[in-house]
């Protein structure tokens, strides 16, 4: 059953509740604007109803029946209809909840082929995957399933920790097969993320090569966003995954690993939060805290926690960042109290101090930021006495946050000094940190009225960001913002900006 038919069936199942509750006068103008119903044929048909109930019934008929006037109906019409209902949550919230909780199963999976459940990136391994699926567990008759519900549930619960892989349908991703000591097919999963059509259209018609490159990246990240959303919904509703945490799965790596392009996720996070009230940023923080409290491999979770912190920091969720780092520091402190003196633990504590300085700077908590800087220095000094050195790249980040703190504290000499220190130590491949250090240096030089160096540094930062991060990168925009701000204050003509873009 495809998604369109599944959603239509969802309306049929809830038809009585829909007819009793919806107000056609309120919904018709919104449905017309969304191109879900036609302003001529459908509206005329609905208005022929003799009562409010009759008009509501006719409206549902128009949603279910296909007509030539519906040629422009969007493919995601059901999600649009759902969003329209949520605009009046006081009236329709329970109705939307009923629609969401209506799970439509495919009528017969007896003849399903395992290649339908192969990941897009794994097409070459179709035959191997097909041979590996336990056809008996998929091809059970409905009667057998009804006779053995308790036995199945016990078996699934016993093998929760043996789950090896979760494969998405390579076509529409509304089916998932869970592989491991058992195999199970989950059908009709849903997600709310929608393609930003205006953005995709602009990029596809652009003549710039970097826009075409962004379009490819945007399409990949939309696909990844759908996978993340589907897996979260799967974990929530599937009993065999009741003990699973999002940080136990490899799907979280789609969100955290590619730090250069993480910003592509932000528009989907914002849309889910503002339209549907789904706050994945908070969900990830709760999942991380739970993993820190329950998992044995704490250091692996801590590493992912720092990546999540950077993701949310760039997203502007500074309060959540502070919660993440404080939880990480608490977990690491427990390890230290248990006489676990591994150098990596102290390095993580050092990094935690740096991350907290960042969040304090954003909240203008300068005194707390200097206190964390002092704590980081104490950790570094303690490690030196044992012959352990903090890696240069960690020190470079430390000097970057100190320069930002010094700038906020109006200590511009220190801002310049620590920016130079960081640039001497930073890894040449850490382009993001290099740009941050150059921007801090520009701030300090400008505030000290060292104009020639400030302008040269601002120009170099923009050109560096364009070369190594791309012109569609937030780092390029950040660098360009510093240059434009400098030019507006001291040059007041577009010459330097034009030079930077050459």
What is 418-475 written as a DSSP string? HHHHHHHHS-TT-HHHHHHHHHHHHHHHHHTT-HHHHHHHHHHHHHHHHHHT-TTSHH
Total domains in the chain come to 3
Strand order in the sheet with 175-179: 165-168, 175-179, 184-187
Radius of gyration of the chain (CA): 28
Residue 37 sits in the same domain as residue 70: yes
Residue 138 sits in the same domain as residue 223: no
Instruction: Answer yes or no: is 346 within a domain.
Output: no
Residue 9 sits in the same domain as residue 92: yes
CA dihedral defined by 225, 275, 59, 56, rounded to 10 degrees?
140
Residue 160 sits in the same domain as residue 197: no
**Pair 402, 411: CB distance under 8 Å:** no
- Domain with residue 79: its CATH number is 1.10.533.10
Q: What is the pLDDT along the chain (502 residues), one digit of tens a residue?
A: 566 777 788 888 888 888 888 999 899 999 988 889 888 888 989 998 888 888 999 999 888 887 777 877 887 788 888 888 888 888 888 888 888 777 665 444 343 333 323 344 443 343 444 444 344 443 444 444 444 444 444 433 443 444 545 666 555 555 666 655 445 666 666 778 888 888 888 888 888 887 888 888 888 888 888 888 888 888 777 776 777 777 777 778 878 888 878 888 888 888 888 888 888 899 899 989 988 888 778 888 899 999 999 999 988 899 999 999 999 999 998 888 877 667 888 889 999 999 999 999 998 899 999 999 999 999 898 888 888 888 898 999 999 999 999 999 999 999 999 999 999 999 999 999 999 999 999 989 988 888 888 888 988 999 999 888 888 788 888 888 888 777 766 665 666 556 555 5
Pick from 187, 218, 246: which residue ends a domain?
Answer: 187
Instruction: Answer yes or no: is 30 within a domain.
Output: yes
List, in order, residues 6 or more apart from 285 with CB less than 8 Å away: 308, 312, 320, 323, 324
Closest to 177 in 3D by CA, of 225, 255, 243, 231: 231
CA angle 161, 176, 194 (to 5 degrees): 120
Residue 221 sits in the same domain as residue 255: yes
Residue 21 sits in the same domain as residue 94: yes
Pick from 130, 157, 187: which residue ends a domain?
Answer: 187
Residue 12 sits in the same domain as residue 94: yes
Residue 44 sits in the same domain as residue 89: yes
Instruction: Answer yes or no: is 21 within a domain.
Output: yes
Instruction: Answer yes or no: is 354 within a domain.
Output: no
Instruction: Answer yes or no: is 374 within a domain.
Output: no
- Domain range holding 30? 3-100
- The structure's pTM equals 0.62
Residue 73 sits in the same domain as residue 135: no
Pick from 278, 299, 320: which residue ends a domain?
Answer: 278
Residue 204 sits in the same domain as residue 179: no
Instruction: Answer yes or no: is 445 within a domain.
Output: no
Instruction: Answer yes or no: is 449 within a domain.
Output: no
Residue 124 sits in the same domain as residue 180: yes
Instruction: Answer yes or no: is 285 within a domain.
Output: no
Residue 174 sits in the same domain as residue 133: yes
What is the rounded distance in angstroms from the CA atom of residue 328 to the CA atom of residue 342?
16
């Amino acid at each position: 059953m495809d998604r369109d038919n599944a959603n239509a069936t969802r309306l049929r199942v809830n038809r009585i509740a829909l007819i009793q509750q919806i107000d056609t006068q309120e919904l018709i103008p919104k449905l017309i604007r969304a191109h879900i119903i036609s302003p001529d044929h459908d509206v005329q048909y609905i208005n022929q109803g003799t009562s409010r109930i009759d008009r509501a019934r006719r409206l549902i008929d128009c949603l279910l029946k296909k007509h030539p006037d519906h040629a422009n109906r969007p493919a995601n019409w059901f999600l649009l209809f759902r969003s329209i209902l949520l605009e009046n949550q006081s009236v329709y919230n329970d109705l939307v909840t009923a629609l969401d909780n209506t799970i439509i199963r495919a009528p017969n999976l007896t003849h399903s082929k395992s290649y339908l459940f192969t990941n897009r990136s794994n097409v070459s391994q179709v035959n191997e995957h097909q041979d590996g699926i336990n056809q008996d567990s998929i091809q059970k008759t409905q009667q057998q399933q009804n006779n053995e519900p308790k036995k199945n549930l016990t078996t699934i619960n016993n093998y929760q920790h043996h789950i090896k892989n979760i494969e998405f349908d390579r076509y529409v991703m509304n089916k998932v097969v869970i592989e491991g000591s058992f195999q199970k097919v989950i059908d009709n999963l849903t997600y709310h993320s929608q393609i930003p059509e205006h953005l995709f259209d602009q990029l596809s018609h652009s003549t710039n090569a970097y826009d075409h490159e962004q379009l490819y990246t945007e399409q990949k990240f939309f696909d990844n966003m759908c996978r993340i959303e589907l897996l979260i919904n799967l974990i929530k509703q599937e009993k065999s995954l009741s003990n699973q945490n999002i940080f136990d799965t490899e799907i979280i790596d789609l969100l955290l690993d590619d730090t250069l392009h993480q910003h592509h996720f932000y528009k989907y996070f914002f849309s889910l939060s503002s339209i549907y009230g789904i706050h994945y940023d908070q969900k990830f923080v709760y999942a991380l805290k739970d993993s820190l409290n329950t998992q044995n491999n704490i250091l692996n979770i801590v590493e992912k926690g720092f990546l999540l912190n950077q993701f949310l920091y760039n997203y502007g969720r500074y309060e959540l960042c502070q919660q993440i780092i404080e939880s990480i520091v608490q977990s690491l402190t427990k390890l230290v109290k248990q006489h676990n003196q591994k150098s990596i633990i102290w390095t993580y504590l050092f990094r935690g101090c740096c991350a907290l300085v960042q969040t304090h700077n954003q909240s203008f908590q300068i005194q707390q930021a200097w206190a964390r800087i002092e704590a980081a220095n104490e950790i570094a000094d303690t490690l030196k006495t044992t012959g352990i050195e903090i890696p240069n790249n960690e020190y470079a980040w430390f000097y970057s946050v100190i320069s930002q703190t010094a700038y906020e504290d109006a200590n511009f000499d220190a801002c310049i000094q620590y920016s130079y220190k960081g640039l001497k130590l930073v890894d040449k491949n850490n382009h993001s940190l290099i740009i941050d250090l150059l921007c801090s240096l520009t701030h300090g030089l400008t505030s000290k009225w060292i104009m020639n160096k400030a302008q040269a540094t601002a120009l170099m930062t923009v050109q560096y960001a364009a070369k190594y991060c791309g012109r569609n990168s937030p780092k390029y925009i950040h660098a360009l913002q510093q240059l434009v701000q400098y030019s507006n204050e001291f040059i007041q003509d577009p010459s330097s900006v034009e030079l930077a873009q050459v």
